[in-house]
Every structure is written in C-alpha cells, then in structure tokens.
Amino acid sequence: MSATTSAAAPAAKPRSFQEIILRLQSYWASKGCAVLQPYDMEVGAGTFHPATTLRSLGTTPWAAAYVQPSRRPTDGRYGENPNRLQHYYQYQVLIKPSPPEMQDLYLGSLDAIGIDTSMHDIRFVEDDWESPTLGAWGLGWEVWCDGMEVSQFTYFQQVGGHDCHPVSGELTYGLERLAMYVLGVDHVMDMPFNDPDAPIAMSYGDIFRQTEQEYSRHNFDAADTAKLLRNFEECEAECHALLAQDATDPKTGKRIIMVHPAYDQCIKASHMFNLLDARGVISVTERQAYIGRVRALAKACADAFVQTEAGGWTPDSTEIATETA
C-alpha cells in the first residue's frame, strides 16, 4: 500500500450521498482492500460484521472495506431530527497488520471525498474505543474536521477477550454525518442521495423518511417485548449449542467449527437487546447483565474462531493457547 497525502489537486466535490460512498469504495479498492458487501443481518455498528470482529483475530493478514447499514433503535427520532437516525450507514475499513502509513491512507480518503486538507482543520483527538458487548478495546482517536467528528480511528488491542497479534487498524466513518458536511446539507433528509441532476433525483428523505417513522414507532412502542425476550434467550442458547458441537462434522468427517452461524446468533441477541432497551423494559441493573451475556457469546465465538483455519489454526497446531486477559 502506498500513502497519498497531499495528493494531486483535490478532486471535484461530490454531489450526492452515493457518490461519497462510491468514492470511498474506489479509494480503498485502489489501496488494496477487498471491497466487501454489507453483512446481511441487523447490527448496531460496522464493527459487528464478522469481517471485523472475527477477522481481527489470529495472524492471517486481512484488508477489507465495506458499507454496513447499522441500527440503533434508541436513536430513532421519527425522521425529524436533523442528524439522528435509527438506521444509518457506516463505512468500515479493517487492515491487519495496521500499516505504518495508516494515518496517511486515511487522510488520502478524505481528499478522495473532496475534503481539501489545506483548507480544513483535521485533528486526531484522543478517543479510546471500547465495546463492552464485544469484549473489545483499542486505542486511537476520533478524527475532527473543523470541530466535527468525521471518523473513528482505532488500533485494536483486544477482541472477544483475545489479544490482537498482529494489531488491526480500524476506520469507521459515520457516512450520513460526513456526507452532510461535505455536501453542505443541514438536515439529513434533505441530502441528495443520487445525482441531484438525475431525471429522478431522490433525497435521503425520499428513501428513508417513512421508514424512520415506521421503525421509530415500532422500536419505541410496538415491538413485542415478550417475543424479543424469548428470542434473546433462544439465540443465546443456540449460539452456545452450535459451539458445543464436535469440531468434526459427522457427515463429511471434516473439521468444521460452526463459528459464523454461532456468531450470527450473537449478533441477533445483541439486536434483540437493543430493541428491548429502546422499549424501555430493561432496568439499569439488568442492563449490565444483558451486556455481559452478549459479551459471553462474542467471547465464545472468538475462542472458537481462533481454532479455525481463518483464525490461524493449522492441522499441525494442537490447541492454540487462548490468550485471555
């Protein structure tokens, strides 16, 4: 990978939300990342994508970039708040091992989406990242552009209770906020989604205003809490059950540990918890307990992943010592 700070003349400003996404995609593709597709499940943040959580474990090198639709039920505002949404997009980059020029690569991506660093004030402000649900933490910054947080930049130190060796560099861009800034839009719903000169020009609101209303009502008042609680328990049980199965598949005789299917259940449980939280049925004391249960699932998946080939296991290795801290 090569750095491009103070690249050539800054590209012309993008004109729509999707153009910003497209530019990020082609920028990170040009820097050697595999451009993945979003994970097909409800997640709270791009970090939950197995391409980040699981792939940051073990020694196998990895470089991926992807858009991840993310859901935070408690942030629903019926589409009225200028910058709060219960469904939004994150752009996520994970490179393992983190290259020495990670910061420069990142700054290059700002150039690519039309932020001219010679006119703006870009700052790396301390922000240590911790995900209690994933049992993960890292050190890094929130990146400020003229006083606005435009990205999160983290060097993963631990995921699912495992020390990261080598360390992954992770970037997360809050796409709506970043795009509103670049496009000079004050309300997210007014932001052009496709080319504003297209025959059928659509705004973010044309696409998402109604869904924000529907989901806000659902998340706050209508989601069936009894069902959610039941689902949470079921997902939890299934996650453990899948991981408890023998590593050797009785049908094929191959070593097949079902880490990803188990992790799917962890993701689901986490989303159930978020919905229950939005419904206001989880008390302060219970909250910690639920978070602890999701973390236990994430940890179990991480433990299992490092016993797979993608996680660094080889037929020669017996049990890989699990590094827990």
Partner 1 sequence: MPDLLIELFSEEIPARMQKRAAEDLKTLLTNALVDAGLTYASAGCFATPRRLALSIDGLLAQSPTTTEERKGPRVDAPEKAIEGFLRGAGVTRDQLEARDEKKGQIYYAKITRPGRPAAEIVAEALETAIRSFPWPKSMRWGTGTLKWVRPLHSILCILSSEEGAEVVPLTVDGISAGNTTRGHRFMGPDAITVHGFDDYQTKLKRAFVMLDGAERAEHIWHDATNQAFALGLEVVEDKGLLAEVSGLVEWPVVLLGSIGEAFLDLPPEVLQTSMKEHQKFFSVRNPKTGRIEKFVTVANRDTADQGATILAGNQKVLSARLSDAKFFWENDLRTVERQGLEGMGAPLGNVTFHNKLGSQADRITRIAALARTIAPIVGADADEADVAARVAKSDLSSEMVYEFPELQGIMGRYYAKRAALSDAVADACRDHYSPLGPSDDVPTAPVTVAVALADKLDTLTGFWAIDEKPTGSKDPFALRRAALGVIRLIVVNGLSASLSDLFGKGFAGADAADLLSFFHDRLKVFLKDQGIRHDVIDACLAMEGNDDLTLLVKRATALSDVLGTDDGANLIQGFKRANNILSKEEEKDGVEYSFGADVKFCETDEERALFAALDAAEAQINPAMAAQDFAAAMQAMASLRAPIDAFFEAVQVNAESEIIRRNRLNLLSRIRTTCLGVADLTRIEG
CA torsion sign for 71, 92, 94, 99 is: negative
Fill in the per-residue mask, 225 to 264: x = in contact with partner 1 (CB under 8 A), - = not in contact.
Answer: ----------------------------------------
- By rule CB under 8 A, what count of residues binds partner 1? 41
Within 8 A by CB and 6+ apart from 155, the residues are 98, 138, 139, 140, 167, 168, 169, 170
Site for partner 1 contains 167 (CB under 8 A)? yes
123 is an interface residue for partner 1 by CB under 8 A: yes
Tell whether residue 181 is a contact of partner 1 (CB under 8 A).
yes
Mask: binding to partner 1, 6-45, rule CB under 8 A, as x and -?
x---------------------------------------
Long-range Cβ contact pairs of 208-214 (< 8 A, separation 24 or more):
208/79, 208/85, 208/87, 209/79, 210/79, 211/87, 212/76, 212/77, 212/78, 212/79, 212/85, 212/86, 212/87, 213/78, 213/79
Q: Is residue 125 within the footprint of partner 1 (CB under 8 A)?
A: yes
Options 165, 217, 227, 230; binder of partner 1; rule CB under 8 A: 165
Among 12, 40, 121, 200, binds partner 1 (CB under 8 A): 121
148 in contact with partner 1 (CB under 8 A): yes
Q: Are 59 and 95 in contact (CB under 8 A)?
A: no
Among 38, 99, 114, 205, binds partner 1 (CB under 8 A): 99
Residue 113 has what DSSP assignment?
T
Rounded to whole angstroms, how far apart are CA atoms 153 and 87? Answer: 22
Tell me how far apart the alpha carbons of residues 309 and 313 are, in angstroms, rounded to a whole number: 5
Residue closer to partner 1 (CB basis): 145 or 269: 145
Regarding 2 and contact with partner 1 (CB under 8 A), the answer is no
Binding span for partner 1 by CB under 8 A among 32-40, 47-55, 283-291, 317-325: 283-291
Report the distance separating Cα 110 and Cα 103, nearest Å: 11
Tokens 């998340």 sit at which residue? 219
Q: Which residues bind partner 1 (CB under 8 A)?
A: 5-6, 82-83, 97-100, 102-103, 117-126, 128, 138-141, 145-148, 155, 157, 164-167, 169, 181, 186, 283-285
